[in-house]
Amino acid sequence: MPATLDTTYNFLPLSEPRFLIEPYLKSYYLKTNRIKRSPKQQDKFTSLPYEIICHIISHLDGPTLCRLASVSRKWFRLIRSNHSLWKHQTLSTFNLTLPHSNMDWYRLYQQQAILKKRWALGQVNTHYLLGHLDSVYCLQFHNRFLFTGSRDKTIRCWDLKEYRTLYTLKGHQGSVLSLCFAGQLLVSGSSDGSIIVWNLQTQQPIYHWRGYHQSAVPAVCMNENYIVSCSKDQTICIWDIKTGQLKRRMLAHRGPVNAIRLVGNRLVSASGDTLIKMWDIESGECIRKYAGHTRGIACLAFDGTRIVSGSNDKTIKVWDAESGQCIMSCEGHTDLVRSLSIDQDRIVSAGYDQTIRVWNIKTGACLLKFESGHSSWIFDVQFDSNKIISASQDRRVLVMNF
């Protein structure tokens, strides 16, 4: 290692530190595995001032840092104890919300690296939740709590750590087709055309809306101001969340409205008429239409900038929400794409071909396919960074933990 490293480093571009240290790291690792060093032998690099070492290694990536930490105990202690280094590595490498300040960043980086590898390889531990007496149509989860709705007319709340039912909600006279969960509120829609808003603290209904839809309610959604429902009767209803009053009822499509999503003041709907529409929720004005599917649309996701839709034409399409252009089409499902969920990296989809597929949301490449989880149609699928959960006609809820 050159003695002038500290002066040489100042003239290197930011991309150079890794290439500077890698040859040293490889040769040093080989030497330490071939011979036993005497106590008098010194690591010239670690004899540099601590500030310079920290400055250099701050430009290395996580895998290189891990290899460097394996060279010696001294390197391990130096790298392991640098919390700001691992905080930067973790937040720049993985899509995380900022955890609490006392986080062990090195351990968090390790956990996220293992999780990323398991996603890449499709390595999961599976659990089935049993209890519903008929098809499970819908699900919603957050952290350890999962809600599922079934053809048996009930909603179940599950503990995802203990894999058991905590309680059951009863109130609909038909199948529970749709759920939306936020804070202490749960909204459910039914094949009987009704919508119930539940207080989860008391497990009792706050509102029970009947007669506004003339057919099944396959989707509900909400934000801090509104609850929105859609129906096979081609309508969308918008409700004031605080008063429970109907604000607007719109004849939205020429076919059944199968899916809705709400972000800010933008509502997106998808229909059996093959169209997606964007609405201003305040005025009820249709802002934009998205055409491209050749058969009815069963599901959609919306993150504010892009719309992802799944159809009976067996494709998934990604749309630019602002321009209305179809960016990409994903093909692979062999039957209706019944449900999908997205984050900034992935699309997870499921359908009547009984498969769950994971796609790269930027390239459209199919990354994973799970074929043996269910024995019948899959009606709903959702995921987060740790797991995928699906609901099926086979009466089971499948939890796949990465």
Q: Please enumerate in sequence order all residues whose Cβ is within 8 A of that of 292, keeping only pairs 6 or more positions apart, or say none.
A: 317, 319, 326, 329
Please tell me the pTM assigned to this model. 0.84
CA torsion angle for 95, 101, 105, 110 (degrees, to 10)?
-60
Residue 79 has what pLDDT? 85
Question: What's the rounded Cα separation, in Å, for the pair 276 and 269?
Answer: 6
Give residue 101's pLDDT.
66
Three-state secondary structure call for residue 98: coil
* Residue listed under structure tokens 């750590």: 161
pLDDT by residue (tens digit) across 379-399?
999 999 999 999 999 999 999
- Walk me through the domains of the chain, giving residue ranges and CATH numbers: 5-120 (1.20.1280.50), 121-401 (2.130.10.10)
What is the per-residue pLDDT for 9? 34
pLDDT score at 22: 52
Residue owning tokens 């992802």: 308
Write the pLDDT tens digit of every residue in 52-76. Answer: 888 888 888 888 888 888 888 888 8
Residue 175: predicted pLDDT: 99
pLDDT in tens, the chain (402 residues): 333 333 333 333 444 444 444 554 455 445 545 545 555 556 677 778 888 888 888 888 888 888 888 888 888 888 888 888 888 888 888 877 766 667 888 889 889 999 999 999 999 999 999 999 999 999 999 999 999 999 999 999 999 999 999 999 999 999 999 999 999 999 999 999 999 999 999 999 999 999 999 999 999 999 999 999 999 999 999 999 999 999 999 999 999 999 999 999 999 999 999 999 999 999 999 999 999 999 999 999 999 999 999 999 999 999 999 999 999 999 999 999 999 999 999 999 999 999 999 999 999 999 999 999 999 999 999 999 999 999 999 999 999 999
Quick one: which of 313, 315, 317, 343 has its CA closest to 328? Answer: 317
Query: Across the beta sheet with 397-401, what order do the strands follow?
Result: 125-129, 397-401, 387-392, 378-383
